[in-house]
Amino acid sequence: MKRIFAFVLTAAAAICLTACSVTKMGSSSRKNSLGCGFSSEVSISLDRLEAEGSVKRFGEGVWEIEFSEPNTLSGVKLEFSEGNVAASYKGLSFSVPQSAVPVKAMMLNLIKAVDDNAKAEELTGVENDGMLGIRGNLDGGEYILTVDGNGLLSSFEMPNNKLKMRFTEVKTVEISSEQSTTAETTETSSGAEAVTTI
């Protein structure tokens, strides 16, 4: 009887340990394509604001976003380069230093997260449904940067800021030596959609 009882306990312990090790999600890594120039459609949810637009990355710290929705933002373009932010709308434009923009500004957080991670040889994070989630911290708070199977940007989230950004139709482009103009499209992401918070 003692042998049967000991056998049952041993078998139960082995099953529990095996089940725990199978269900636990581990870290994974993949190639890093964040350093590429790219263009993408973007959907943004920031607290109660819902917006649509297009984003371009020309190189480290050189980005552009143009809004198409809502009507109150349609046509507004923001350009980030050399520590400045230039805004334009229907022929009107002005420029301010990035240091004058609030720390929690969504684009500055996105730019910092992508540009910092672009320096790594490969990306490391948690695998989930073919996407890789990379966690990090910025002055604006914690973030989750998600890349697809090609290592291209898929989403960006900052839960404490109630920010989610989803990137679709991501196309990589060659970066010129000045990192301010782009050449032909070289690769397209898998088209998978993910939600990102900034």
The verdict on residue 16 lying in a domain is no
The verdict on residue 118 lying in a domain is yes
Give me the number of domains the chain comprises: 1
Confidence of residue 175 (pLDDT cuts 50, 70, 90): low
Which residues make beta-bridge pairs with 128? 131
The verdict on residue 32 lying in a domain is yes
CA-closest candidate to residue 158, choices 114, 109, 116: 109
pLDDT over 80 at 142, yes or no: yes
Q: Using the CB atoms, write b or e for 154-174: b if 16+ within 10 Å.
A: bbbbbeebebbbbbeebbbbe
What range defines the domain where residue 109 resides?
27-58+103-188
The verdict on residue 22 lying in a domain is no
Residue 65 burial by CB count (10 A; 0-12/13-18/19+): exposed, middle or buried? buried
pLDDT reported for residue 94 = 85
The verdict on residue 18 lying in a domain is no
Q: Is the dihedral of CA 25, 31, 32, 37 positive or negative?
A: negative
Give 30-66 pLDDT, tens digit per residue: 888 999 899 999 999 998 889 999 999 999 999 999 9
The verdict on residue 127 lying in a domain is yes
Q: Is the dihedral of CA 179, 182, 187, 191 positive or negative?
A: positive
Cα–Cα dist 147/143, whole Å: 13
The verdict on residue 80 lying in a domain is no
User: Within 10 Å of residue 34's Cβ, how many Cβ atoms?
Assistant: 22
The verdict on residue 146 lying in a domain is yes
Give 74-108 pLDDT, tens digit per residue: 999 999 998 889 999 988 888 888 777 765 688 99
Whole-model pTM over 0.85? no
pLDDT over 50 at 135, yes or no: yes
Residue 194 burial by CB count (10 A; 0-12/13-18/19+): exposed, middle or buried? buried
